[in-house]
A = this chain, B = another copy of it.
Amino acid sequence: MRARVVVGVDLGGTNLGTAVITDSKDILAKLTVPTNAHEGPEAVIDAIERSVRRALAEAGADLTDTLAVCVGSPGPLNWQTGIVYHAPNLPGWNDIPLGEKLHDRLAVPCYVDNDANVACYGEYWLGAGQGVSTLCLLTLGTGVGGGLVINGELIRGIDGTAAEIGHMKVMRGGRRCGCGRDGCFEAYASVTGMLRTAAEGMEGGSETLLNTLCHNDTAKLTGKMISEAIDKGDDFAKEVMEETGAWIGIGIANLVNILNPEKIVLCGGMVAAGDILFDAIRQSVDENAFEVPAQRAEIVPAGLGDDSGVIGAAGVALSRYTVDHRAP
Contacts and interface: CB of A to CB of B under 8 A. Distances in A.
Interface in A159-207: 159-165, 167-172, 174, 179, 181
A262 interface: yes
A254 B168 contact: yes
B293 A258 contact: no
Interface in A226-252: 247, 250
Copies held by the complex: 2
A153 interface: yes
Size category of the binding interface on chain A: 35 or more
A159 B293 contact: yes
Contact of A260 (B153, B157, B174, B260): B157
A170 B153 CA distance: 27
B288 A162 contact: no
A158 interface: yes
A156 to B, nearest CB: 7
A294 to B, nearest CB: 10
A43 interface: no
A39 interface: no
Interface centre among A134, A150, A163 (most CB of B within 10 A): A150
Given A159-B293, A293-B159, A296-B159, A258 B168 contact: yes
B262 A163 contact: no
Interface of A: 76, 133-134, 146, 148, 150-151, 153, 155-165, 167-172, 174, 179, 181, 247, 250, 253-255, 257-262, 287-290, 292-293, 296
For the complex of A and B, the 9 pairs showing the least CB-CB separation, nearest first, are A157-B260, A162-B260, A164-B257, A168-B254, A161-B260, A161-B293, A158-B262, A167-B257, A171-B172
